Structure 1
Amino acid sequence: MSIGIFLIISIFTFFLMKLVVKEHTMSMYHALDIKTRNLAHSALGRGIFQFSNFRNITPQSGQLNNGDYEISYDGVNDEDSDPLPYSHYTMLKSEAEISDSYRTTRI
């Protein structure tokens, strides 16, 4: 009887360990996604600074911490490749990547 209870508890323990490891992996992906989103927003901030101070609309790329980002400007089309409604509009787009996480933001 006690061996049966021991086996049941052991099986439950292995199941619980598998669940804990899976949850840890999911939380790591969530944290990585947050870091990538923050990197994309930081790249947008840099792009806004470059545009407002220097009127520089050339594509730029760089590295920050463990991630890569790229900033690009499009003065003709929006994110759906439709023409922008006014000629003085410009779409600013940033792409960020850290490990397996990838984010794109635009204004």
Structure 2
Amino acid sequence: MSEAIRLYVVTDNQEEACLALLGCGLSGLPAWMKMVSDPHEVEKLPSGTSAMGLFFPKGTGRNSYLETVWAERRERGGIDYDFGKHQEKLNDWIRRRDEAERRLLADALAQEPENQRGAA
């Protein structure tokens, strides 16, 4: 059973957005988070959704079509787009993820001498 999407990230560069927000590639994207780059999907974001926009301008000085669609969807209302609030929740998740990884690594390293003794 798939986990419900709790945060959408509207972006013109999914890989860069994932690296910037989570410090990992798209393969590390949690199941509760979805990157959205299709303007039609942005239009269909349901009311009550939490979302944040993260764009990587190409130096044209103008908003991309996706950015314009994102701005218009926010103006229609029903989207919680408080970037700072969502970023803080992501930072909390990253801290928990990193701590879990540290514990796994510590456990693996603690078992390593036992594995080496058994191999001798």
Fold-level match, TM-score > 0.5? no
TM-score range, shorter chain: 0.3 to 0.5
Write 1 or 2 for the structure with the bigger share of helix: 2
Higher CA-based Rg: 1
Query: So what's the TM-score if we normalise by structure 2?
Result: 0.30
Query: So what's the TM-score if we normalise by structure 1?
Result: 0.34
Write 1 or 2 for the structure with the bigger share of strand: 1
